[in-house]
């Protein structure tokens, strides 16, 4: 019998292009090639879909430089007919077959991928894929509506004010200053800590918002929460939602918080504890909140839920990530390992579940 074929799709137009490529390298290295045929599809920063290398070594960080999907004369053509599994490549010499794809692993981070857009495109063609559907992906990407869903589910979140092209800083100055200092300024629809600033003086607010708006015209200004940064991996299984032991991020060096450089380029400045130590009742609350956050946005398959554990033991939900990173320093595979699930076993589980998921409305 022939093996099923998985298309690993990565790169993309967002500012997290490089992170997506590194994530793809991790997944490509973990897929069991005896079990799966693998096709790699890279999306350039300009949005061109192109055949890419399936060698994990081609997608590593080298001397502090993130990998990138290079431009190509060839363009990958997904099926435009519901039920078709045949993907093609168009190039200078015409069309050729890329293969019949059974399941897609969309490893795009940020807008134009993680936000429900590629999920919608795959749904149109009845293509099975790993991860959450359109609505959950969109809500998981947009911090404003993510927090709305969390509040509706009774989960505690940090107070915030949304700044947008339709309602700016001056229109909400009193509400913003009522948050107190410091505040964190975040693009509403970005990840990997792109464009996030800690503001300790109101005189720095405008510049921080302008920096965040380089990534997204909509920005969240959030009251700071003092506490430990704790994360939980959630995995949907046939027996229900599985939560991992909690992991903790401790940031040092010149980093005031877990910013992009700390995540990917300055490993020495970060301590990742997995599992971390939490008092029994607190650990139970963290696991409960992770499951409730997963259900609040209607997530599927997998997610990472990030919380703050305050000095008094209170827990505040920060965010959910419906397609967490799978880089060498990423917490999701580390936390899965702490739950007894190896990286290859995790990837196999995600692909097997996706291969069996129904197409269409579910």
For residue 12, is it within any domain? yes
* Strand 247-251 relative to strand 270-273, pairing: antiparallel
Q: Can you give the CATH number for the domain in which 287 is found?
A: 3.30.470.20
Task: Report the mean per-residue pLDDT for the chain.
Answer: 92
One domain for residues 323 and 249: yes
pLDDT at 291 over 80: yes
For residue 360, is it within any domain? no
One domain for residues 108 and 172: no
pLDDT at 61 over 50: yes
End-to-end CA distance of the chain: 29
Cα 320 to Cα 294: distance, rounded to the nearest angstrom: 7
Q: Structurally, how many domains does the chain consist of?
A: 3
For residue 89, is it within any domain? yes
One domain for residues 70 and 195: no
pLDDT score at 100: 96
pLDDT score at 30: 95
For residue 80, is it within any domain? yes
User: What residue numbers bound the domain in which 195 lies?
Assistant: 160-223
One domain for residues 148 and 282: yes
One domain for residues 147 and 277: yes
Q: Of 173, 198, 223, which closes a domain? A: 223
For residue 288, is it within any domain? yes
One domain for residues 147 and 204: no
pLDDT digit string, tens, across residues 73-130: 999 999 988 989 999 999 999 999 999 999 999 999 989 999 999 999 999 999 999 9
Q: Can you give the CATH number for the domain in which 79 is found?
A: 3.40.50.20
Q: What pTM, to 2 d.p., does this model score?
A: 0.91
pLDDT at 266 over 60: no
One domain for residues 147 and 77: no
- The mean pLDDT of 55-80, rounded to a whole number, is 94
One domain for residues 183 and 237: no
pLDDT score at 265: 47
One domain for residues 125 and 238: no
pLDDT score at 1: 62
For residue 353, is it within any domain? no
- Indicate the pLDDT class of residue 257, thresholds 50, 70 and 90: low
CB atoms within 10 A of CB 203: 8
Residue 338 makes CB contacts below 8 A (sequence gap 6+) with: 244, 245, 247, 274, 275
Strand order of the β-sheet with 160-163 is 160-163, 219-223, 183-187, 197-199
pLDDT score at 328: 74
pLDDT at 193 over 90: no
Count of positions (residues) in the chain? 362
- The mean pLDDT of 182-210, rounded to a whole number, is 91
For residue 69, is it within any domain? yes
Nearest to 77 by CA among 125, 29, 15, 25: 125
Q: Of 223, 252, 267, which closes a domain? A: 223
One domain for residues 144 and 282: yes
One domain for residues 241 and 335: yes
For residue 359, is it within any domain? no
pLDDT at 255 over 60: no
One domain for residues 176 and 301: no
Cα 107 to Cα 330: distance, rounded to the nearest angstrom: 13
Q: What percent helix, strand, coil does the chain show, rounded to 5?
A: 30, 25, 40
Q: Of 198, 223, 248, which closes a domain? A: 223
């Amino acid at each position: 019998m022939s093996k099923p074929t998985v298309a690993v799709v990565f790169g993309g137009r967002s500012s997290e292009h490089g992170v997506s490529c590194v994530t793809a390298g991790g997944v490509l290295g973990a897929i069991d090639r005896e079990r799966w045929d693998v096709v790699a599809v890279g999306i350039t920063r300009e949005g061109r879909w192109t055949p890419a290398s399936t060698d994990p070594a081609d997608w590593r960080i080298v001397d502090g430089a993130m990998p990138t999907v290079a431009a190509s004369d060839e363009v990958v053509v997904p099926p435009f007919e519901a039920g078709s599994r045949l993907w093609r490549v168009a190039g200078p010499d015409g069309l050729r077959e890329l293969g019949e794809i059974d399941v897609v692993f969309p490893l795009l981070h940020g807008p134009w991928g993680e936000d429900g857009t590629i999920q919608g495109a795959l749904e149109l063609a009845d293509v099975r894929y790993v991860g959450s559907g359109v609505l959950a992906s969109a809500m998981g990407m947009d911090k404003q509506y993510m927090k709305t869903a969390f509040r509706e589910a009774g989960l505690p979140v940090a107070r915030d004010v949304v700044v947008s092209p339709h309602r700016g800083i001056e229109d909400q100055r009193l509400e913003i200053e009522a948050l107190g200092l410091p505040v964190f300024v975040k693009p509403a629809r970005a990840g990997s800590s792109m464009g996030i600033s800690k503001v300790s003086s109101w005189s720095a607010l405008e510049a921080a918002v302008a920096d965040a708006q380089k990534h997204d015209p909509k920005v969240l200004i959030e009251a700071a929460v003092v506490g430990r940064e704790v994360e939980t991996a959630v995995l949907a299984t046939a027996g229900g939602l599985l939560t991992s032991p909690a992991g903790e991020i401790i940031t040092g060096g010149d980093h005031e918080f877990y910013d992009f450089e700390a995540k990917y380029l300055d490993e020495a400045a970060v301590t990742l504890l997995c599992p971390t130590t939490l008092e029994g009742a607190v650990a139970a609350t963290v696991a409960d909140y992770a499951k409730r956050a997963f259900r609040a946005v209607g997530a599927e398959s997998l997610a990472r839920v990030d919380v703050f554990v305050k000095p008094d033991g209170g827990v505040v939900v920060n965010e959910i990530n419906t397609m967490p990173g799978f880089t060498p320093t990423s917490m999701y595979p580390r936390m899965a390992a702490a739950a007894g699930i190896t990286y290859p076993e995790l990837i196999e589980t995600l692909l097997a579940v996706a291969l069996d998921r129904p197409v269409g409305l579910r």
